[in-house]
Structures are given as C-alpha cells and as structure tokens.
Amino acid sequence: MRVLIADDDDTSRILLRALASRLGHECVVAEDGSEAWELLSTLRIDVLLSDWMMPGLDGPALCRRVREELAEGYTYIVLVTGLGQKERVLEGMNAGADDYLIKPVDPFDVQTRLVAAERVTALHRQVADYRSELERVNGELLTLSLTDPLTGIGNRRRMEEDLTRARARADRVSRPFSVALFDIDHFKLYNDHYGHVMGDHALREVANRLGGVLRQDECIYRYGGEEFLLLLPDCAVEGAITAAERARRAVESAAMPHEARPTSPPIVTISGAATSWMPGSSLSVPQLLARVDYALYQAKSAGRNRIHLGAVIGADGRLLEATVTTEG
C-alpha cells in the first residue's frame, strides 16, 4: 500500500514512516495539511495517517475534504491524536476518519491499523472492479439491444430513439432533417430461388453497401424484413434525393445476381423514397414515416429500382415539393 503520513512534528513523522516502511509499505510524507491535500490530489494514496493538529488543514478538515472531493478509489484514514484529544475521536470519525491512534503511538497498534486498512482498501478495489465490469457488460448489452443481429446495423428500436432525438434537435435549432426508406426489389423471389441462407447474405451485403456510402452524422437502420432506413440530419430535400440515389447506385453497382427477378436487370436492386421535415412543421415522426412509406410504395408500383420523393410539408401546412423520381 501507499501510505501518506501527515504530521508537523518531525519525530512523529519519522517514527510513523519507519514503522510503515518496516511493514513493507511505500511511504510519502507531508509536513502540514495543505501539503497532504496536494499529495492526495495527485497521487493514489491507500492510507492516510494524519495528525489532528496541523498548520493549513487540520486532521478533521483534511478528512472531510478527502471524503467530499476524492471520488476515485478509497483512502483509509487514521487520525493520530494526543492523549488529551481522545474525547474528540468521534468528531474525527464523523468527519470521515476510519480509525485512530493515540500518541505516543505503539508499533503494534500501527501494525493492526495497517492490516485493517489493507483489508478495507482491497475490498473497495474489488467493489470498484466489479462496478467497472458491470458497467462494461451493461454497455455491451445496451449496444446489442440496439443492434440488428443479422446485419450489425441499428435496429428498429435504435431507429425510433434516434428519430425522436433528430426531430427534437431539428425543431430546437430550426434545421431540416430527412429520411430515406429502401426496400430490396423482389426479395421474396430471391429467397425462394436461392434459399434463406443466401437471402441473409444478401441482406448483409445490402446493409454493407448502404453503410459504405454514409456521410458524416448519417445513420442506417434495418427498418424490418428487407427494408432499411437512412437518417439524414441537417439535410433538406435536394440532399435527401442525392443521398438516396447514391445508396441505390451503391447496391446496383454490387451486381449481386438475382436470376429469379421477373424484370431486368437480373441483379439485386433497391427501390427507395425520401422526404424531409422542415423547420416549423408540426409533422410527427410517425407521420413522416408514413409519408416516406407511401412514396416507397409509389416507387415500387412505378417499376422498382428508382427513388421517389414524398410530399414535403412546410410550416404553413402547404406542399413545398412535387413528386420527383430518379430511375436506374
């Protein structure tokens, strides 16, 4: 253990240091309370042996400061008092001390206090390690709960949380944000033809392709089944169409074979739709998703492998943009 001995009396300081060192502990010393606090603030101290009466900070004041301001780790505090101060021991304990010694100190008493200190500080370290491990595991569980296990991207729960935050932020800073929704074309026919193992592979590959074209702050989620949603913060209509078309081309350029596709080209493609929330709009997240979902339906009905822009509503409730289509 590292033991800090704080005492303005040279004899007491030298004696305590000799006793603690002989027991195999590393010792540092301070000649007053202020110097002791500086050492406590900069070094990991396991045990503090502090005199009651010292210049700067006295023993009880030093105890209170340790307990109030040092959150990392646990310092076991032993107050060293004169015989005339024995009745004030409880005052020191209430200030944060764990134990006390009476001057002149007895070597056996010092040894027993340090044995107890070693046991207590070891328990505190063990509890801290358990807490750290628990926080790590909880963090991993939280990540897993927000991740789609097949594709490794955000799941529906993560998407809903992020959309709610994006909507609140956009309203707060008066900036637009957009969403784009994609569906793999003729995916049921793909599964029937190639089997579900290859179908899962296709889902992962599409997710990778979509993730590969993300710009800063953009996020992709598995919306459900073979559908994916792209969240575009600080993005208005033109940027949404550009991002959605970039995603469509990324999947098309992979040229994954789809021999069961009833129309050309015989590769895996996606249909998509995009829409935007504009500052001042009262449109809720579910309403925004309903608009982009309807636009996706239009894109699929129009022949697939294309991007449709859904209706964008301004703060006054008026339609800002007509439907725009990009085709592969």
pLDDT tens digits along 280-295: 888 899 999 999 999 9
Q: What is the mean pLDDT of residues 97-116?
A: 92
Q: Which residues are catalytic?
A: 226
Q: What share of the chain in percent tops pLDDT 70? A: 94
Cα separation, 209 vs 250, in Å, equals 6
Terminal CA-to-CA distance of the chain, rounded, Å? 70
Q: What is the 3-state secondary structure (H, E, C) of the chain?
A: CEEEEECCCHHHHHHHHHHHHHCCCEEEEECCHHHHHHHHHHCCCCEEEEECCCCCCCHHHHHHHHHHHCCCCCCEEEEEECHHHHHHHHHHHHCCCCEEEECCCCHHHHHHHHHHHHHHHHHHHHHHHHHHHHHHHHHHHHHHHCECCCCCCECHHHHHHHHHHHHHHHHHHCCCEEEEEEEECCHHHHHHHHCHHHHHHHHHHHHHHHHHCCCCCCEEEEEECCEEEEEEECCCHHHHHHHHHHHHHHHHHHCCECCCCCCCCCECCEEEEEEEECCCCCCCHHHHHHHHHHHHHHHHHCCCCEEEECCEECCCCCEEECCCEEEC
List the chain domain ranges. 2-138, 156-327
For residue 77, what are the β-bridge partners? 48
pLDDT of residue 82 exceeding 90, the answer is no
Class assignment of domain 156-327? alpha beta
What's the pLDDT at 319? 56
What's the pLDDT at 81? 87
User: Tokens at residue 137, please?
Assistant: 């595991």
Class assignment of domain 2-138? alpha beta
Grade residue 217 by pLDDT with cuts at 50, 70 and 90: very high
What's the pLDDT at 268? 97
Would you say the pTM of this structure is higher than 0.85? Answer: no
pLDDT of residue 78 exceeding 80, the answer is yes
What's the pLDDT at 56? 87
pLDDT of residue 69 exceeding 50, the answer is yes
Neighbouring C-beta atoms of residue 184, cutoff 10 Å: 24
